[in-house]
Amino acid sequence: MEINFDLKEVLKTFFRDKLTEKETTLIVTSTYKLNPDDLVLIRKIFSIPTEFKIINIVEPKILGGLILNFASKVIDLSIAGHLREFKKLIT
């Protein structure tokens, strides 16, 4: 399939920006909106530079705890995640 050269360039730039954005953003998923003190504590614990963004996503499905996404790394400290691990062990 022949793609238009200009369109290709635009898409390249878009995905590069997205990738860069992902590498400089920490996504914190929780069951409720975290207060700023908690976000500061998280930044301190994981030694995240100040220029990096922290985004808090509210997701009740995780039941409790936190899920931290940074670039391609995921730290699952949620209750739903623990339940899934436990289920894998049993089955």
Tell me which H or E stretch contains 67: strand 65-70
Distances (CA, A) of 23 to 39, 41, 45: 18, 20, 18
Q: Which is nearer to other proteins, 64 or 74 (CB)?
A: 64
CB of 87 to other proteins, least distance (A): 5
CA 19 from chain centre, in angstroms, equals 13
Query: What DSSP designation does 48 have?
Result: -
Residues in contact with other proteins, counted by CB under 8 A, come to a total of 21
As to burial, measured by CB atoms within 10 angstroms (0-12 exposed, 13-18 middle, 19+ buried), residue 36 is: exposed
| Chosen residue from 14, 15, 32, 52 binding other proteins by CB under 8 A | 32
Residue 42 found at the interface with other proteins (CB under 8 A): yes
Q: Which is nearer to other proteins, 41 or 71 (CB)?
A: 41
**Residues that bind other proteins in the complex, under the rule CB under 8 A:** 30-32, 34, 38, 41-42, 44-45, 60, 63-66, 77, 79-80, 83, 87, 90-91
